[in-house]
Amino acid sequence: MVLSKTKKSVVTSTVAASVLIIAILVVMSASLSSMQQQETATATSLQQQSTEDQAGTATAVAASNATVVDINAGSVLKLSRASVPIDMPLEKGYQDGKEIFFITTDASDQNFAAQLTNKSGFAVNFAPLLAKAPQDARNQAYVFTNGIKGNGTFGFQLPVVTSKPGDRNYSPLWQVNMASWKEGAAPRELTSVQQIMDAQSSGQLSVTKTGIIVNHPTIKWDGGSLKIRDDRDNITDDSPYVGGQILNIDTDRMLVTMVAHRGWGPDGKTIYYVVTDATPEMPATMMGVASVPADEKLARTPVAVDLFQFTNGINGTGPMGFQAGIGGANPDDSAKYSPMWKISFIQWKDPSQARVLENLGDINTMVADGSITLAPAMEGKHVVNCPFFGEETVSKHMHKEG
């Protein structure tokens, strides 16, 4: 990381983010009493997670004291490679007879995750917590195991899904249903759920529901797509977090170029993440991603893991214009990891005493001595779909012109 004095370019790059801060702080102030009651529970949970994550060290406090960095008030924490364009493979499917394009980032079944990784060449995280998603927070997907040859998961026709962004029941979390043509049936391409139901009712097709959940955020659909950034040709470490997460959608080469944001895992390890959808609508719109009410249904389940963002203190490359955030789990700790993050805000009681925090131990120490407060964002309803990737994955898939 690089530490420098505040520069005009940083102020310019965080103007849009400051609007988000103001809007969210209004919501925070309206429900401050509720948040303060939840703070103790959040801190207790954090203490437990920090202790587990730092097993083998002397104590969580000792670990954090080694990584907290003092810097002067008014300084800027600038991480190198804070915003990196990466190319992710697009996949195609059908929704109500129309083509949709989506990405694959996480799966609840380890073998299925490995199969998806081999198919696309992009590492798909094993995230068993996704299997705990409530039924009404799932999109039903139909994957064919035989029939017409094609580019589907098993080498047959493309998958069919129930909904797309903007639909009332849309979710990026697809529950996999295996569709198989019965002996003697005449296989044909099906492009809607209704066609699948009709084929099943007529005895030609069998459908077997599995417990497998896959994170398949939809990027482009009939009549729409995720927002493409206006500054897509000039992404730098000082680019604003808001305004869109997509740089280019290429359905000929089947690639989407997205902004990968740098942050920290629970142990201080560098992670990157992309943003695809969120709830409530206001922050989703400002970030330029899909507004998905179904994401809120995950907030009080194990599927939504803690992600801590800063609302004041050291200026930097985080989404609020301050230092980068800290996630509660890494993908390599599959028992705790999920791409669905429940956002909590960290606020320094005295911003002039702010320090660089890099891991859960650091947060825990600052909570214990009263330096910072924790509050669930937007009354605990702010959930964001942010799949995490390691540096190796980002370096391998970094966008190259031409």
Q: Which of 269, 363, 265 is nearest to 313 (CA)?
A: 363
- Whole-angstrom CA distances from 155 to 141, 186, 205, 314, 400 are 16, 18, 17, 50, 29
Element (H, E) at 19: helix 15-30
φ, ψ for residue 78, nearest 5 deg: -110, 110
Phi-psi region of 268 (alpha: psi -120 to 50; beta: other; left: phi over 0): left
CB distance 339 to 388 below 8 Å:
yes
- From first to last of the 402 residues of the chain, give the pLDDT tens digit: 333 333 334 334 443 444 444 444 444 444 434 444 444 444 444 444 544 444 433 333 333 333 444 455 456 666 778 899 999 999 999 999 999 999 999 999 999 999 999 999 999 999 999 999 999 999 999 999 999 999 999 999 999 999 999 999 999 999 999 999 999 999 999 999 999 999 999 999 999 999 999 999 999 999 999 999 999 999 998 888 999 999 999 999 999 999 999 999 999 999 999 999 999 999 999 999 999 999 999 999 999 999 999 999 999 888 999 999 999 999 999 999 999 999 999 999 999 999 999 999 999 999 999 999 999 999 999 999 999 999 999 999 999 875
Q: What is the pLDDT of residue 62?
A: 32
| pTM (predicted TM-score) | 0.84
Q: What is the pLDDT of residue 74?
A: 53
Q: What is the pLDDT of residue 317?
A: 86
The token pair that represents 33 in the structure block: 């009493």
Q: What is the pLDDT of residue 80?
A: 73
- Classify residue 321 by burial, with Cβ atoms within 10 Å: 0-12, 13-18, 19+: buried
Q: What is the pLDDT of residue 25?
A: 42
Dihedral angle over CA of 81, 219, 379, 328, nearest 10: -40
- Classify residue 186 by burial, with Cβ atoms within 10 Å: 0-12, 13-18, 19+: exposed
Task: Tell me how far apart the alpha carbons of residues 324 and 178 are, in angstroms, rounded to a whole number.
Answer: 41
Q: What is the pLDDT of residue 26?
A: 40
Q: Which of 196, 337, 356, 170 is nearest to 266 (CA)?
A: 337
Q: DSSP 3-state assignment of 256?
A: strand
φ, ψ for residue 265, nearest 5 deg: -80, 180
Dihedral angle over CA of 375, 387, 285, 311, nearest 10: 30
The token pair that represents 166 in the structure block: 């903007």
Domain range summary for the chain, segments of one domain joined by +? 2-83+227-396, 89-221
